[in-house]
Each structure stands twice: as C-alpha cells, then as structure tokens.
Structure 1
Amino acid sequence: MAEIYRAKLVNAPHFNRFLVVKRILPNLAADNEFITMFIDEAKITVELNHPNICQIYELGRLEDAHYIVMEYIPGRDLLGLQNRYRRQKKIMSVSQACFITAQVAQGLDYAHRAVDSEGRALHLIHRDVSPQNVLISFEGLIKLIDFGVAKAASKNSKTQAGVLKGKFGYMSPEQVSGEGEVDHRSDIFALGTVFWELLTGRRLFHADNEFATLELVRECDVRPPSELNRLVPPQIEACVMRALCPDPAYRYQWAGEFARDLWMFLNSCNPPYTQWHLQNWMCTNFAEDLEKEWEKLPIFQQINTIDDVKMYNDRLAAEAEAKMREQMASFIAAPVQQTYDFEGNVVPELTDMTDNTGGSTQVFTPEFDFGAVEDLPGDDTNPAILPAPGAQVQPGMPPRNTAKFDEGDMDFDAPVAETPPPENPLHMSVYQMDALVMPMEPASNRTTIILSTLIILILLGGGGFGAYWYFVLRVPVTVAETSVPVATVSIEVKPNSPGIIATLISQPNNQVVANGIGSKLEFGDLEPGKYVLEVEHPNFETEKRELNLGDGMSTVKIDMLTPKTKTVRMTLNLIPAEAAIYANGELFEGSGAERKLDLDAETEYELEVKAPGYQSFVTSVTLREDTPQSLDVKLEKGVATVQVKSSPPAELWLENNGEWEKVGKTPKTITDLDPSMVYRVEVRAKGYKTWSKEISFDDQFDKSYLAPLNKE
C-alpha cells in the first residue's frame, strides 16, 4: 500500500530529529475512492494522541503523491523479538510478555473510547492487531501502528469474498464467520492471540493455507498456555483464556480491563517489570545492530543540504552495483536452514506471511531514483526501524525489506511485485536497499513546503499494511413489551461431601445472583440468559460450567474430576543467608539461612537461588507425597567484566571505592570485577562531553556498553 522512508529536514543543521514518511504507491494514487477514504480516516487518526499509539503529524499531497508524516520509532517490531527468541530456542519471560501486552492494551483502550470534537464516540476498530504492528523502541517504549490506514488498506487487500480485513491468523471468530456485529472486542481477541504466542513461542492459528487458517480461527480451540509453558501462572492463564473467548460477551469488554489485570500481576512481582528492563533487554540483544548503525549516523548527520544529498548519492553509486551483485550471488548459494520448536519439530518462521495478509507488496518504484545501495549484514529477518541521534539508547541497525536472506538462513517469503521491474539492475529488488536520498520539489501550501525540505535518507521497506479503521454505527432497536420469563436451575454435585459451595454468576456483568451449600441445590426466579456456575469442593479443584438458561427448569450435574494437590514441606539451607529463592519463576518470600517452602506434591519445580555478586544455582525437583526434603545450597562468588566502546575512541576511567583510575583506551574490556560492587566508568575525550555510567551487575556478570560522545 505504501513505501516508508526515514526523513530529516534540510537546511537545518542543528535539527537532527528524524521523521517517517509514508508515500502511497502510484497504482493506488489513481483510485479516487481509495484516496478519499484514506484521507478521511487519516484525518481522524491525526487527532489520536497517546503514548502507546504512533503519532501522525501531517497528511498531505505533493503533485500526485499522497503521503503521511509520522513519528519515528527507533527499535524493532514485536515480530522481530519473537524471531530472536525463536532462534535462541527460548520463550519470552511471562513478565516481559505481560508488560508489552498491557501497554498495547492501553493504546487500544484509548482508541476504542476516542470521541470527536463534539464528544461523539468514533467507534474505532484497529482490525489488524498483530506482531508486525507493534513496535518496541530501544528505549523500551511500545507503540501500536497503522491505526490510520486500516479500513483504507482493505481497498487493496480484498481476498476470497472481499470482506476479510486483517491478517487471518489474528482475526476473531466473528470476523471470520461474518455473523453478528464486529466491534472493538475483536481487537481484544487479536491482542489475546498475540499474548498467547508470546507466552508459548508458537503460532496459535496457523495452517498450510488461508482457508485452513480461517477454519482454525472459527473453531477457536485454544490450548491453555501453561500446557506449553509451565512458567505461566494461573492468573495470567485466566487473562489469556478470557481474552480468547469465542463469544465476545465472555471476553474482556474493554481493553483497559485487560491491561488492569496484567498490571495487577506485574505489580505483584518482585521486582516489578518496568520499561528499564525492556530497554536493557533490547540493548543487550541488539547490541551488534546498535554498534553498526552508530558508525553510519555521523554520515547522515552531515547531510544538511540538497548538495550534500547529491554528493552522498554520487559517492555510493559507484559501489552499489558491484555490492548488489555480490550479495545476490551469496544469497543464491546460501543453504536453507530450518527452525525447530522445543520438541524438535520443524516450525514455520514468524513472518509477514502473504497467506495471512491477503495482499501483495510492491518492492520497487520505477518513478524513484534509488541512487545507491549498500551491503546489509544478515542478522535478523524483521524490518528494522532506526533510532534518531540524541536518543537515550544508541541507534540501531539499518532497515530491511520483508524479503529476507540471513547468512545460513534463507527464507523465500518475499512478496511478488505488481509492477514490471525496470531495466536498471539496481531496481531489480530492494532486498539490500540501505540508502535513499531524494530531493523534493517545492510546493505552494504549508504541508508540501514541509515535505519539500525532507531528505529521504533510509528506505525502511515498502510493504502491504494490514491495519484497518472501522466505524461501527449503532442503531437503536425498539422492543415490544412481553411477559417476563423465569428460569430455574437444579444442581447436583458428585461425590457428595460436607463443605460443597455452589455460586451462580450472571454474564457478562459478572454479578453473583445466587449461592448455596450442599450437594443438591436449586436456584429459582432467575432471568433466562448466560451464567457461569462455580462449584467448590473440599477435596477437589473448583469446577466451572457455562450455562445458557431458558424459561423453565434446567438440570445440571457436576462431577468433580480433579483432586486437590497435596503440599510437601521443603527446607533449604542457604549460603549466603540473603539469597533469594524462585520456584518456576515465582519469588518465595522469606529471609535467613534456613527457608521452608510448601510445594505441590508430584509437581516438577525449577528452583533458582541467586544473590548479588554470586553465581546463580538452578536445579529441578519433584517432591513425593508425605516425603519432606531438604537441600543445602552454597553460592559461588562471581567474577564480572565490563566492555566499553565509543565513537570516537577515547580514554576509559574507572571509579573504585571513590578513586578514579585510567584503565586504557576504548574499545576496552575491564575484567576481574566484584559483581557485588557498584562501579562508575567515564569515557573522556578532548573536545567532547564526558560519558558516564554507573554499573551494577545483579545476576548478569558481563556488561557491554557503547558510549556516544557528543561534541562540546
């Protein structure tokens, strides 16, 4: 639908803020109906202002090119994080998954409740909540994108019946079936799908073709995530399953409720997961990308005039064709590498699959002179989004197109171009497009003047966008008066035992309407409708049953099937006494050298004991019923290292116990540090501002930093 560029203002040498420009593809620019819808809906999105939604600044037109100027977010999309975990054969931590999902839910809740200037509800629906549309910045910020083009994009995304909008694997059952009204709760189901995939490291609804994927969504047979990841706690599993309820009436009614439950869990963790943790994870896992991009930023900062643009293109043009040919040759020769899940089965890569987008992507534009290309290192398969200079975190890797080729890992999911390729070999593909600098002609109005001063620096990657706007018009319905029906339900619980408690809860408002004690109960004078029956038994786990009561008597028989798990006492003797104990990721409160844990019998636990300055101890235990167990744990002292790099190279100083010592010149690795201590390092260079960092190690003994030095 659009091409994406990174941009900056020309003739403003001290203005280093980058923006993103989306340019509508020429084949869509001729569609007047599409352009009208696109403009009308983008105008509304310009008014959305929330920290978890990508901000749109300008909507305009230059000659025949319609464009959007929007916020520039340095980082990766959520799909890139998933693929990074998959290559490491790891699953995202529960806390990190909850933090990301809660932030997206906050942005959705704001959009769903948005009103116009007269206070009327807009009834916005994203309709394409998916990993590709969630961006994670290197500073730990989370943004939902493509709110403004969702419904407009559907004009170019017609599939079988021409009515399905979004990626099939992230649709809701009501979207797929076409039955009933599709409202904002469809976005909540899609976010629940994303959350389930983060917790399990697997695709939830994925099949060999589009129709099979749609059938999986329609059936909505969801495995509890704890069956695939035993670290998922019950309260989080309840959140996931509620968000993925096939009936919208049983889901969260608002995304804010979803976010509230996730924040309650995060705040109960010790320590709570915060933006700082996510920022640290991003910088650690994409450290190489950040360093390589940092080396290129000084070049982009020197481009401040149209003449600089020409000089930059001329310098790169001589190298572009040779590098493209060399890269394409290595791409063709690269072996195919498969990805495996945790059970050793071959699984598909989490990518922008064309079978789920319902549309194709144009990968080159003959009207544009791309000018020059560079070789891109093949580290990740997801499109990158580059950080702006001056950000708190060092900038990231160059962007990449949806067509991918990593060293030793080749994936042929590149979309097929709709326009014949030009004769110039530089325009054969944009797989390796690393730089694009293009001056724009002056225009008469304010918006086009702004666009005309933009230097288009980096091609982020053209692609089909699956975000959609949708407006739900609610029409009042007049209902004739009728006699009020009355429902009655008879309940029988087996096995019989004293202490059985039955509770009847009306839906969807979750109000307790009746309760009682005993194995045989009857609740009457009820309104027909949907209820949830909860039965608590002294010897069995609580059973829940969904009921749809009609007029008259209904009989329900409940068989208690799951016996309650018995607990076993385990004693741990710890050195040092201040060590913390985690069982399946959950912190056990306590202090002292001797700790007593009450754990479920016949259940496998992963115990982790850790303390600042010591190497962690990890073991698996399964306690037998009526067999108490003790364990002696003595943690070994750790040794820490710190690696510091800077641009340009400079002197590295270390503060230890209040005294400063020059330890060398960057790049430099400092070894044999005590991880229980807190250190401070400084990078000093004549004519540059000093870079300073306080370093503590916790349970990560190897630290790496890239120090950006700014001139005084």
Structure 2
Amino acid sequence: MSRPPASRGPTARLDFESGGYRYSIHRPLVTHPHYDTLLLASREYAEGGPVKLVELKPVVLEEGHEGLERVLEEVRLARLLHHPNIAGVYGYAVHDELPYIVMEHLRGCYLLTAMDAAVAVGRRLSPAFAAYVAAEVADALDHAHRCEGEDREPLHLVHRAVGPMRIRLGRNGRVQLTNFGAAYSELLGRIRSPDGLLRGDPAYIAPEILRGFLRPEPGQRDILTPRSLDGRADLFSLGLVLLEMLVASYPLDAPDTLWRDVKRRFPAEVRVEVPTFLELETLADRVLHFGPEEVQQVAEDLPAPLRRIVARALRPHPDERHPSADVLRDELRAWLQGLPRPYGAKEAEQELARLLQEASDLGGLAAHAGVERGVLPLPPDMDPNDFH
C-alpha cells in the first residue's frame, strides 16, 4: 500500500518543567498526518538525577473540559495495564497550556519501519520473525483483554488500533504494543467516543465493526461500536498484520476484480480517526469480503501451520476465530518451538539488527520510511550511552 511522505515538523530543542520533572524535547519521532505526533525527549527530576528517554504525545484539546478529561482517561487506563509487552505511560506534562502524554520509549523502531526496510533491501521478514512478533503482541492483548478496573470489574477492553505503527520493536528483541488512546473499555466514568467516529486504523479494522454500521444490533447506541464488540476484533487486526509481514504486502491490496463496492455509502457524519488510503466504502467492502478463499489465495505460499493460524485469526465472524489472544499466542509459540532451531527474543534481535544495518548500508530506508524519523542512522544528539 503506498504511503504519502512524512511532514518535516520542528527540530529545535525545547526545554520545560512540569510536574516536578524537567523535559528536553530533542526531535520529532513521528510527524505524519495519519498518525499521532510523537516527540523524542529526555526527562529528569527538576532537582537533577538520572536522565531517561521518553516519548511525548501532544494532545490537541477540544473545546471545554472534555479534551483534558480524555487525556486523563487515557493515562488512567494505561496505568491499569502492567505488562512488559505494553508500552508504559508515565503520566502527562503541560507546557504553554498544551498537554503531552508521557510514554515509555523503547529503543528500536516501529514494525512499519522494519517492513519498509525489508522492502527497501528486496527481501521479506522471516516467517519466524513474523510469528514471534505476532505472538508477543498476542501476549500483550491477552493481558489487556483480561484487565480489570479500579473496582475489580472487567474492563472488556478492545485496543481497536492494532497495526504496524502501534507495534514497537526493540533492538533487544522486545516487542511492545503501544497507544491505547483509541481503545474501547468499560472503565468506570469513561467518556464515550463521539458518535460516528471510526476509532483506530481502518486499514486493519475487524469486519464486525463495519457490520455494526450495515446491520446495527438491537440497542446499539453508536453505529460503529457493536454491543457485542470484544477482544476478538483485535485478533482479526493482528491476523492482518501477521499476514502482511509474511507476504510483504498489504493483504487487501489484492486485484480489484475480487471486490465489488458496497451499496450503502457511509454518511457524511461518519468520520475516521486515521485517514484511509482507499475510499472508506471500498476498504469496507474488501474487509467484509476477505473470507477464507481470499485468505487462502494470499497465503498459499506460507508454511501450512502458519497458514492455518492466519486463516483462523482472519475468519469473518468472531466465533470462528481463536477464542482469546492467549490461544493465538500459544499456537504461534508452539510453531516457533517446533522449528529446527527455536526462535525467540535473541534471534529477533539479531534479525532486526541485520535488516536495519543492511538498509542503512544501502541508504534504502530513507527512500521508503515515510513515517518514523531518525532510525538510521542514530541522530548525533541521541547517544544511547547518555540515557538509562
């Protein structure tokens, strides 16, 4: 799928204090119109101490108090999620009345950058690498889907935005799921999403969300949030990401002869949180018609066990998919353990390092990575030995 070039954004260093911490913004990490802006910064106690790299996500507030309430809600929700494969959220900072969500920074790159690097050097990510990354994300989703609120009641959380720019790959082999800002949950006192807002990335949306628009369920309040929505929607999104890693192309970019436009058009009041590369009706039609035959056609060259796992994750109806994220995780890990040489964090670390080095040597990544900035080479102001 083609992607427009990134906007450049400011690069000047900015220092400020907030909440007892001193922040120094070094440079943009992501400044792309399709994704949240992310800034790479260092943080230390105002009175001095160890310096830590963090990411700052500026939040443009809506009119009134609701915008700030959404910031606090995202921080509150993230603090309930404690898992090594989920990026931590430390809180928020304010500078010149603009709030920033303060997040953990894992040295490495986003999955999208790794996928683009592979394209740049003319090869695919290995099936083992793809399965390892997907298994680690499934482990994170399993924790999130089982998470409870402060009242010890299930949150019924759905990430809703699983995609290559929400998956962070560490240079140490660690994998993190990031950005729960679009998540659906039953957090006590949460603010409902605006009606008609398609949360997350439509390119990886589960078909049941679209069916909620086409055939609303009884009692459904929001046309894009079915009452039966649950974590299995995230498994479909992860299945698409896994298939994209395995075949080195976006699965729904199949020939147009496979698809037909939906009859019912989305009304003007339906808005998308992330712009789409296709007309929303065309994308929706492709998702809704991406059934077992289409999956088989795209995945025909994959190892048979992986093809079965992907096909199950991408079943059109949630009841036909893996019942929970831990089942998907365990199937992927069992396949990895059954390889002639078991594949884990160390092997993923080595493969990612080789890929980024190869792309750096060729100078190819700069031509392809239009979203994340500063991965290759490491900018001179970001000596990793200066931070811990």
TM-score, normalised relative to structure 1: 0.39
Any idea what SS the aligned residue of 2:352 has?
A: helix
Partner of 1:192: 239
For the pair 1:8 / 2:42, whether they are aligned, the reply is yes
SS class of match (1:118): coil
SS in 1 for 2:200: coil
Determine the C-alpha separation between the residues in 1 that align with 2:385 and 2:326.
Answer: 41
The answer to whether the 8 A contact 2:80-2:147 is kept is no
Mapping of 1:34-45 within 5 angstroms?
A: 34-45=67-78
1:397 to 378, 384, 388: 378
Offset at residue 9 of structure 1 (A):
3.6
Task: State the SS of the aligned residue for 2:197.
Answer: coil
Contact 1:172 1:190 in 2 (8 A): yes
SS in 2 for 1:18: strand
Q: State which of 262, 277, 286 in structure 1 corresponds to 2:347.
A: 277
Pair 1:211 & 2:244 matched: no
Q: Percent identity?
A: 25
SS state of the match for residue 57, structure 1? strand
One-letter identity of the residue aligned with 2:378: M
Q: Is the 8 A contact 1:98 1:266 kept in 2?
A: yes
Q: What secondary structure is seen at the aligned counterpart in 1 of 2:75?
A: helix
- Measure, in 1, the Cα distance between the counterparts of 2:374 and 2:90: 18
Query: How far 1:195 sits from its partner (Å)?
Result: 1.0
Tell me if 1:221 matches 2:291. yes
**8 Å contact 2:53–2:105 — kept in the other structure?**
yes
Matched AA of 1:237: R
- Structure 2 match to 1:117: 150
Q: What residue is the counterpart of 1:676 in the other structure? A: none
d(CA) in 2 for partners of 1:99 and 1:53? 15
Name the structure 2 match of 1:380: 369
- Could you tell me how far 1:12 is from its partner in structure 2? 7.5
2:323 to 218, 237, 253: 253
CA deviation string 1:680-712 (max 9, x = no partner)? xxxxxxxxxxxxxxxxxxxxxxxxxxxx999xx
Describe how 1:593-612 pairs up with structure 2 within 5 A.
none
Q: In proportion to residue count, which structure has more strand?
A: 1
- Tell me how far apart the structure 2 counterparts of residues 101 and 380 of structure 1 sit (CA, whole Å): 21
Q: CA deviation at 1:115?
A: 0.8
Q: Which residue of 2 aligns with 1:440?
A: none
One-letter amino acid matched to 2:203: G
Residue 73 of structure 1 aligns to which amino acid in structure 2?
Answer: L
CA distance in 1, matches of 2:209, 2:181: 20
Separation of aligned partners in 1, 2:117 and 2:292: 24
Partner of 1:242: 312
Match of 1:408 in 2: none
2:91 counterpart residue number: 58
Q: Distance in 1 between matches of 2:304 and 2:294?
A: 10
Identify if the C-alpha distance between structure 1 residues 261 and 2 changes in structure 2 by more than 3 Å, giving closer, same or farther: closer
Change (3 A) 1:102 1:63: same
Distance in 2 of aligned mates of 1:228 and 1:189: 15
- Secondary structure, aligned partner of 1:174: helix
Distance of 2:62 and 2:360 partners within structure 1: 36
Partner of 2:58: 23
The alpha-carbon deviation at position 379 of structure 1 amounts to 6.8
Q: CA 1:239–1:281 in 2, change beyond 3 Å: closer, same or farther?
A: same
Superposed counterparts of 1:5-404, under 5 Å: 5-9=39-43, 15-25=50-60, 28-62=61-95, 64-150=97-183, 162-178=196-212, 179-180=216-217, 181-206=228-253, 208-223=278-293, 227-228=297-298, 232-287=302-357, 380-384=369-373, 397-398=378-379
**Cα offsets for 1:649-677 (capped at 9, x unmatched):** xxxxxxxxxxxxxxxxxxxxxxxxxxxxx
- Name the CA shift for 1:225/1:2 in 2 (closer, same or farther; >3 Å): closer
Deviation, 1:217, is 0.8
Shift of 1:146: 0.6
Query: Contact 1:134/1:143 (CA < 8 Å) preserved in 2?
Result: yes
* Structure of greater relative contact order (alpha carbons < 8 Å, 6+ residues apart): 2
- d(CA) in 2 for partners of 1:229, 1:91: 14
The residue that corresponds to 2:17 in the other structure is none
Q: In structure 2, give the amino acid aligned to 1:203.
A: Y
Write out aligned runs for 1:480-559 (5 A).
none
Q: What secondary structure sits across from 1:132 in the alignment? A: helix
Q: Which residue identity does 2:67 align to in structure 1? A: F
Q: Read off the aligned partner of 2:243 and give its amino acid letter.
A: W
Query: For the residues of structure 2 that align with 1:68 and 1:87, how far apart are their CA atoms?
Result: 33
Shift of 1:135: 0.9
What is the Cα deviation at residue 174 of structure 1?
Answer: 0.8
Runs of at least 5 residues in structure 2 that lack an aligned partner in the other structure: 1-34, 186-190, 218-227, 257-277
Per the alignment, do residues 377 and 221 of structure 1 end up closer, same or farther by CA in structure 2, a change over 3 Å counting?
Answer: closer
Give 1:233 shift. Answer: 2.1
Query: Using a 3 Å threshold, how does the CA distance of structure 1 residues 12 and 281 change in structure 2: closer, same or farther?
Result: farther
Letter in 2 for 1:262: L
RMSD over equivalenced CA pairs, Å: 3.4
Tell me, in whole angstroms, the C-alpha distance in 2 between the residues paired with 1:226 and 1:217. 15
- Of structures 1 and 2, the larger Rg is shown by 1
